[in-house]
Amino acid sequence: MSTTVRVSTTTRDRLAAMAETAGRPMTSIIDEALDALERRQFFAALNVRYGQLREDTDQWSSIEAERAEESAVLRDTER
């Protein structure tokens, strides 16, 4: 299924040029761009949350303790 999305002429021309250069359909370029934007937004939100966790010293200490335990277990399984 497909649909029509209105974009400026400039955006359409940029998209067409990228598709031509890549030798792929414009829809493929749009899909890739949306995937990249979703990843960027996900990791930006993740970084904000990690920043909040670091500010909570009790929670951050708990996370660090858990990581230390996991690290010790991983070292045991590498032998």
pLDDT tens for residues 26-54?
999 999 999 999 999 999 999 999 999 99
Rounded CA separation 39/62 (Å)? 28
Sequence-distant (≥ 6) Cβ neighbours of residue 63 within 8 angstroms: 53
Domain ranges of the chain: 9-77
**Closest to 27 (Cα-Cα) out of 56, 1, 60:** 1
For residues 20 and 14, is the Cβ–Cβ distance under 8 A? no
Asked if pLDDT for residue 73 goes beyond 80, the answer is no
User: Residue 69 has what pLDDT?
Assistant: 87
Average pLDDT for the chain: 92
Q: Look-up: residue for tokens 């990581």? A: 67
